[in-house]
Amino acid sequence: METEGFFVDGPGIFRAELERTRRERQARELSEKVTGAQSLVNSLEHAGVDVMFGIPGGAILPAYDPIFDSKIRHILVRHEQGAGHAATGYAQATGRVGVCIATSGPGATNLVTPLADAQMDSVPIVAITGQVPGPAIGTDAFQEADIRGITMPITKHNYLITDPDQIPAAISEAFHIASTGRPGPVLVDIAKDALQKMTTFTWPKQRVLAGYRLQLDPEASAINDAARLIAESKKPVFYVGGGVIKANASKELFRLAELVGAPVVTTLMARGAFPDSHPLHLGMPGMHGTVAAVTALQKADLLITLGARFDDRVTGKLSTFAVNAKVIHADIDPAEIGKNRFADVALIGDLKRTMVALVPALEREFAKSRPDLASWWKQMGGLRSTYPLGYDHPAEGLSPQYVIERIGAISGPDSIYCAGVGQHQMWASQFIKYEKPRTWLNSGGLGTMGYAVPAAMGAKVGAPDTPVWAIDGDGCFQMTNQELVTCAINKIPIKVAVINNESLGMVRQWQTLFYASRYSNTDLHSKRIPDFVKLADAMGCVGLRCESRDDVDATINKAMEINDAPVVIDFSVHRDAMVWPMVAAGTSNDDIMIARELAPDWGSQEL
Amino acid sequence: MALHTLAVLVENSPGVLARVASLFSRRGYNIDSLAVGPTEDPKISRMTIVLNLEGHALDQVSAQLFKLINVIGIQEMKPSESYERELLLVKVGSNGAALDEVAKRYGAKVVEKSENSVVVELVAESDVISALLSDLKPFGVKELVQSGAIALEKGVKTLTDRVRDEQGLSNPEEGNIGESSTADYQN
Ligand SMILES: Cc1ncc(C[n+]2csc(CCOP(=O)(O)OP(=O)(O)O)c2C)c(N)n1
């Protein structure tokens, strides 16, 4: 494998271009003729791909012939959406680029949801799609869809390749773009005739991306400004987002947080970036965050924002969010700075480097004076102990929160947990204790129902020795469960806990609260149909059912023992459980409710 | 809200206009005009985008634009520091000395003249064009076509120079050169 050479981002373009032509010509003369398809597969191998998820079809079929002989493992999924989410699950669990592949038209459009999902959650995936032959493009040919046009707003970048000579460069660039800076999905659409034509394969020794520039090191002056703000602050909070996990910067966060001693909150995308067991951790902020985490942001005088993006689910009504706080905003994406909230200090750069740089700057500041956070901690610690997360056991039926809590306790912090979207997702975020990064996978930005099963499949492929759970809703599960067939056949033994409340629970919760309990079209009847145990069985999985609290541990333990097949547990839970606390959409975080019509008792808190 | 002009250097690659348009539509930015054309470098095109927005939103628009992989450089063209021009072609329904007089006053060119119609051409700043148009109204404007604005910075500096400076590439030969490796994207 070629590893030397040089790559150019930014306008070193001029010399680089010449150099490239010269080297490529040289190399080409040396290499032999292959098809574009073979060149694609060679490129993927050179890019370090070990697995891809996909489904063949006419336009991509030339590629499947060399795939047959490649050392890359190809996992044949049952729906392209599954391939996309599997690539995402793989990427989120391993930090490597996930790869999915599909044919033109419907194959490609089935990737739209996972691409949008990966874009919203900044997940590095590369999607390869076949396109109708070059001369047919634009003629409404059979299975033609302008997937490059369709995915422009939902990818970090995309390509349409009609010349086989451009395949290696496009693949090399795609992996580079997907995995560097703020990660994201890149789509490479390749015309069928480009796959069929003869070309020469040369893995590019250099990459010329004139418009792609990364700022990795924050400005020294900004680091000093940030350190000064932190040293002056009396009520600082670390507002930690998914960027910390993307940057593999949990250790650096740990060091920084302990140095400052300020409260830490981890957003839905950042669960696991900082240990839940750590005394500085106040939990998750946002719509279903803990009272302490929400209030800490709200009352802070300084937000130390690390790879988070002031999403509306965190800020509530923006104009009322953390009104007295100054903001330090650290992010690798300059466009996040000031997008939703003005930043007093912008730290544009790689989060790991940013945090490493902050430590000595802070030590210098702290040598002069150290803020006393005792009274801030008294307030926040008080809120944390007064308003812990909790739930009731219903008089009849099983509590969904209990089930999820037990799965976390039994399977432990080394397991990977993927969630669907809905109440079960929030409970999985709240009641499983995350201690490590890349153990909590979910669709935070797009909120994609159907994410859990295929994402768990991808995660398990990437981390075969780790127990991987999909905590799924009965609604979500019915969107993508066909990938259990893929899991069964390819020996990918994931464990699925269907939190069966026979409803589109989260929507039902909103109907309860905001639509006078008029349950329009949220009853799924899924305790009757389908029979999830039989369905599991039919798909080559082990199906288990659990209906009472007494059986919960035994059922989970049984699932833990099965490692040669996927397991599906139908946890029949009561349907009226609700996710609390809650900040209703569009309202202020100040109006957080801890139960229906029950606000925290602010009177007893000196805030 | 006020008008701001951005000069944007983009790679001359297929789909780049669609990317920019898609970004503006998705983020709800208000484009007043857009002009695209070649530059001194055949690999690079230049867009001039006139936007209607709050001043503080300009940084955000630039940052979002800059995220597009094909966008190489962006610079605001401030009115005091740049030349900004639009092209107007207008067909007017009447003839006569009075019309010639108006055209002359604006330095506009009469490019075609027949009994019942005159075609007038003007290259000027936006407000001059508007003024000419209102003075032409009495003559009966039958059809008009106008280009988006294009803008060039005053003085010796060029946008390409600036892009290089921004990179801290005192010597453009250097570029940002790094070793390639597989681990590069499989970390
Ligand atoms: C693809 C998609 N369609 C619709 C929604 C809207 N939605 C959000 S949560 C939810 C209900 C999910 O139900 P279920 O999977 O049973 O989970 P529960 O909330 O009951 O735990 C719906 C329909 C969505 N997020 N994604």
- The DSSP string of A240-293 is E-THHHHTT-HHHHHHHHHHH---EEE-GGGTTSS-TTSTTEEE--STT--HHH
- Domain identity same for B106 and B142: yes
**CB of A241 closer than 8 Å to CB of A269:** yes
CA angle A36, A40, A43 (to 5 degrees): 135
> pLDDT confidence of B181, banded at 50, 70, 90?
very low
Query: Does B121 lie in the same domain as B56?
Result: no
pLDDT of residue A429 exceeding 70, the answer is yes
| Residue B97 pLDDT > 50 | yes
Residue B187 counted as domain residue: no
How would residue A605 be classed by pLDDT, with cut points 50, 70 and 90?
Answer: low
Across-strand partners of A161? A190
Rounded to 10 degrees, what is the CA torsion of A194, A196, A202, A208? Answer: 10
- CA torsion through residues A467, A468, A473, A478, sign: negative
Ligand 1 pocket check for A98: Cβ under 6 Å: no
Asked whether A449 lines ligand 1 (CB < 6 A), one says yes
Nearest beta carbon to residue B173 from set A7, A15, A152: A15
Cα gap A569→A495, rounded to integer Å: 8
pLDDT at A4: 37
Statement: residue B151 has pLDDT above 70: yes
Instruction: State whether B73 and B160 are in the same domain.
Output: yes
d(C-alpha A483, C-alpha A418), whole Å: 14
Please give the pLDDT value at position B174: 36
* Whole-number pLDDT of residue B55: 75
CA-derived radius of gyration, chain A: 25
Burial (CB count within 10 angstroms: exposed 0-12, middle 13-18, buried 19+), residue B156: exposed
- Which helix H or strand E contains A91, and what residues bound it? helix A80-94
Mutation probe of ligand 1 site: the residue of A430, A443, A506 with most atoms within 8 A of C-beta:
A506
In a domain, B183, yes or no: no
Q: Which of A308, A306, A342, A350 is nearest to A325 (CA)?
A: A342
Tokens encoding A91: 């990427």
Closest residue in B to A348 (Cα–Cα):
B63
Contact B153, B77 (CB under 8 A): yes
Does residue B121 share a domain with residue B72? Answer: no
Does the pLDDT value for residue A361 go beyond 60? yes
Whether residues B68 and B89 fall in one domain = no
**Residue A501 beta carbon below 6 angstroms from any ligand 1 atom:** yes
Residue from A2, A4, A14, A171 whose CB has the most chain B CBs within 10 Å, to mutate:
A14
Percent of chain A at pLDDT > 70 equals: 94
CA torsion sign, A411 to A416 to A422 to A428? positive
Mean pLDDT of B82-96: 92
**Chain B contact for A157, CB < 8 A?**
yes
In this structure, are B89 and B128 located in the same domain? Answer: yes
| Strands A345-348 and A326-331, bridge-based pairing | parallel
User: What is the total count of domains within chain B?
Assistant: 2
For chain B, the C-alpha Rg in angstroms (whole number) is 21
The model scores a pTM over 0.90: yes
pLDDT at A14 over 60: no
Do A18 and A206 touch, CB atoms closer than 8 A? no
Tell me how far apart the alpha carbons of residues B6 and B83 are, in angstroms, rounded to a whole number: 12
Q: Are B41 and B53 part of one and the same domain? A: yes
Pairwise CA distance, residues A194 & A39, whole Å: 10
Q: For residue A476, which atom of ligand 1 is closest to its CA?
A: 15
Q: Answer whether residue B90 is part of any domain.
A: yes
CATH value at residue B41: 3.30.70.260
CA distance A487 to A456: 10
> Looking at beta carbons, which residues of chain B come within 8 Å of A333?
67
- Would residue B7 count as lying in a domain? yes
* Residues facing A73 on adjacent strands: A51
Asked whether the predicted pLDDT for residue B180 surpasses 50, the reply is: no
pLDDT for the residue B134 = 96
Domain membership of residue B161 (yes or no) is: yes
Ligand 1 atom showing the smallest separation from residue A400 Cα: 21
Closest-CA residue of B relative to A206 is: B180
Q: Which residue in the block uniquely carries the two structure tokens 């790991």?
A: A352
Backbone angles phi, psi at A14, to 5 degrees: -70, -55
Distance from CA of B119 to the nearest CA of A (A): 38
Choice among A105-109, A147-151, B59-63, B175-179 with the minimum mean pLDDT = B175-179
Nearest by CB to residue B176, choosing from A8, A47, A149, is A8
pLDDT at B184: 46
ipTM, two decimals: 0.89
SS3 assignment, position B3: strand
Q: What is the pLDDT of residues A228-240, one digit of tens each?
A: 999 999 999 999 9
Is there a single domain that holds both residue B60 and residue B106? no
Task: Please state, rounded to an integer, the average pLDDT across all residues of chain A.
Answer: 95
pLDDT of residue B94: 79
What distances in angstroms separate CA A151 from CA A168, A247, A448, B23, one per listed residue? 21, 25, 17, 12
**Residue B6 and residue B64 in one domain:** yes
Based on the domain organization, do B56 and B122 belong to the same domain? no
Give B119: exposed, middle or buried? Use CB within 10 Å, 0-12, 13-18, 19+.
middle
B24 and B110 share one domain: no
Q: What is the mean pLDDT of residues A474-496?
A: 98
Nearest residue (CA) to ligand 1, atom 8? A422
Q: Is A147 exposed, middle or buried (0-12, 13-18, 19+ CB in 10 A)?
A: buried
How far is the C-alpha of A247 from the C-alpha of A333, rounded, in Å? 12
- Closest chain B residue to A50 measured between Cα atoms? B186
Neighbours of B91 (CB within 10 A): 16
End-to-end alpha carbon distance in chain A? 61
Greater pLDDT, A17 or A148:
A148
Domain co-membership, B161 together with B142: no
Distance from CA of B104 to the nearest CA of A (A): 45
A386 burial class (0-12, 13-18, 19+ CB within 10 angstroms)?
A: middle
Query: Residues A367-400: pLDDT tens digits?
Result: 999 889 999 999 999 999 999 999 999 999 999 9
- Residue B186 within any structural domain of the chain: no
Query: Residue A408 has which token pair?
Result: 């976390």
Q: What is the mean pLDDT of the segment spanning A419-445?
A: 98
Quote the CA–CA distance of B73 and B159 in Å, as a whole number.
8
CATH of the domain at B131: 3.30.70.1150
Reported as a single tens digit per residue, the pLDDT across A239-253 is 999 999 999 999 999
A488-501 average pLDDT score: 98
- Interval between CA A449 and ligand 1 midpoint (Å): 6
Span B115-130, mean pLDDT? 95
Do residues A55 and A103 lie in contact, with contact meaning Cβ atoms separated by under 8 Å?
yes
Is B184 a member of any domain?
no
Q: What is the pLDDT of residue B165?
A: 77
Q: CB A586: neighbour CB atoms within 10 A?
A: 8
The average pLDDT across A296-306 equals: 98
Q: Please, which residues 169-198 of chain A have a Cβ atom closer than 8 Å to chain B?
A: 172, 175-180
Tell whether B52 is covered by a domain. Answer: yes
The share of chain A scoring above pLDDT 90, in percent, equals: 92
Residues of the domain holding B22: 2-79+154-174
| pLDDT value for A24 | 64
User: For residue B183, is pLDDT > 50?
Assistant: no
Over the stretch A159-191, which tens digit does the pLDDT of each residue have?
Answer: 999 999 999 999 999 999 999 999 999 999 999
Residue A515 near chain B (CB below 8 Å): no
